[in-house]
Amino acid sequence: MSEEKKAKVKVKADEGVAPVQRIRIKIKAFDHKIIDQSTRTIIEAGERTGATIKGPIPLPVEKKKYTVNRSTFVHKDARDQYEMRVHKRLIDILNPGQKTIDALMSLNLPAGVDVEIKM
């Protein structure tokens, strides 16, 4: 009986609404000043072309800690600890046009910034 109920229930999608196109940009960098500058540049380029922008959304900082022995052989108590922080931001561009895509492709971002773009 439960199988019949499952078969009869159908989820209706909004047929009159067109799907929203979206470009999702994920930015990573070790320095928070560089990543903020890059996000401002991307947002300005998107706003100039008339696209709707959501963000920047700060994502959690990824902290990697490394512990290394100072000496090569005996002294286990003497250690150095290093930490590497990766700052991340997320920007969504809704309903992008060809001008928006061209503007994003022509941007010159500083070195040390990793950009992932998903459509």
Task: Give me the number of domains the chain comprises.
Answer: 1
Query: Does residue 42 form part of some domain?
Result: yes
Task: Decide if pLDDT at 90 tops 70.
Answer: yes
- The average pLDDT across 79-94 equals 95
- The mean pLDDT value for 82-111 works out to 92
Lowest-confidence pick of 1-5, 34-38, 63-67, 70-74: 1-5
DSSP 8-state class, residue 61: E
Domain extent, residue 23, equals 18-118
Would you tell me how many other CB atoms lie within 10 Å of the CB of residue 26? 15
Q: What is the pLDDT of residue 73?
A: 86
pTM: 0.74
In this prediction, residue 75 carries a pLDDT of: 87
Does residue 86 belong to any structural domain of this protein?
A: yes
The β-bridge partners of 64 are 84
Q: Mean pLDDT, to the nearest integer, of 11-29?
A: 76
Does residue 77 lie in a domain region? yes
Q: What is the pLDDT of residue 64?
A: 96
Averaged pLDDT for residues 82-104: 93
Domain assignment of residue 6, yes or no: no
Tally of CB atoms within 10 A around 81: 8
Residue 2 domain flag: no
- With 0-12 / 13-18 / 19 or more C-beta atoms within 10 angstroms meaning exposed / middle / buried, residue 49 is middle
CATH of the domain at 34: 3.30.70.600
pLDDT tier at 34 (50, 70, 90 boundaries)? very high
Please report, for residues 26, 29, 74, 113, the alpha-carbon distance to residue 23 in angstroms, rounded to integers and kept in the order given. 10, 20, 54, 18
Residue 51 in domain: yes
| 37 within some domain | yes
Domain contains 108: yes
